[in-house]
Amino acid sequence: MTVRLDRMQRGLVEALSGVASTVSWAMGEAPRDTADLLSLRLRAGPSPLHRQHAHERLVDAAELVDVQVTGAVLNDRAVLELNDFPYIVDVVDAGATPTDIRDAFVTTVTEQDGETITVTAVDTDRLQLTPITGGAIRSVKLSGPLSTTTVTLGEPVAITEGTSTMVVEVSAYSLDRTPRGGAHSILGEVLARLTRPDVVEKLGRWGVSIYDRGVVTDLSAIAGGHWESRALLELTIAMRSTVVSSVPFIESVGLDIVIDDEIAATVAVP
């Protein structure tokens, strides 16, 4: 079972950026040189969702996908959706070229999927995707100034998808002990931000869904001598879990036919 915890980590940090001076995953002892801190920690999971319904399907995995960047117009958005995960490059520079867009895709796809997919720059405006592991390229969708020039299919694979949940512990620390500026207030802002449609959409790009937001617990009494306030929030996160398996190949089929003598006599032709 594969659950992309790296995407969950990136998605939450991106969604909560700016809520506190520092937003990061647990680093051991909290630094004391910042006014406030939001620290995230995976406390439990991932584990299959209770009473979930897994779904299996057969797909023709690709052995080679050649993608061409067809243009670079200001304010264009190029989207390479790979296995239902969108890689997005926005053209914000009037002087951008197809090579710039291609290079951006090579960098981001290699950074996120480099362990399973090889991305190669070809010519000035093309990139090629080849799998390192079986079934690594199961779905490719393009929008914006992108087109496919070659798609080579390989052996079919079985994809089983379900939902897994995990508990993420969000701790807030603050030197401010006032109700409107302390740790409790910071986590109140976290809860408010996670309900915003734009944040929900961004988390969805990373494949992250907030299953349960929990409640804020004030821990200021046991925060220690260096912090004025501390609060805790537990989020239950839901993400897709995927299992890729090969499909057995049937080389030959043996068939034995036995004809009853009476039946044979009945259908005999003189």
Superfamily in which the 5-53+161-246 domain is placed by CATH: Phage minor tail protein U (3.30.70.1700)
Per-residue pLDDT of 30-41, as tens digits, reads: 555 667 889 999
pLDDT computed for residue 223 by the predictor: 47
Distance from C-alpha of 109 to C-alpha of 104, rounded to nearest angstrom: 9
pLDDT computed for residue 255 by the predictor: 64
Same fold yes or no, 5-53+161-246 and 58-157 = no
In sequence order, what are the residues at sequence separation of 6 or more whose Cβ sits closer than 8 angstroms to the Cβ of residue 44? 166, 167
pLDDT computed for residue 55 by the predictor: 81
Beta bridge partners of 208: none
Return the structure tokens found at 112: 């996120």
**Residues in the chain where the model's pLDDT stays below 70:** 1, 27-34, 50-52, 221-227, 248-270
Per-residue pLDDT of 196-227, as tens digits, reads: 999 999 999 999 999 999 999 988 765 455 55
pLDDT computed for residue 159 by the predictor: 87
Domain ranges for the chain, please list them. Answer: 5-53+161-246, 58-157
pLDDT computed for residue 154 by the predictor: 87
Nearest to 69 by CA among 93, 95, 96, 94: 96
Distance from C-alpha of 226 to C-alpha of 190, rounded to nearest angstrom: 23
Distance from C-alpha of 155 to C-alpha of 135, rounded to nearest angstrom: 8
Residue reference for tokens 């090969």? 246
- Specify whether domain 58-157 bears CATH 2.60.40: yes
pTM above 0.95, yes or no: no
pLDDT computed for residue 250 by the predictor: 59
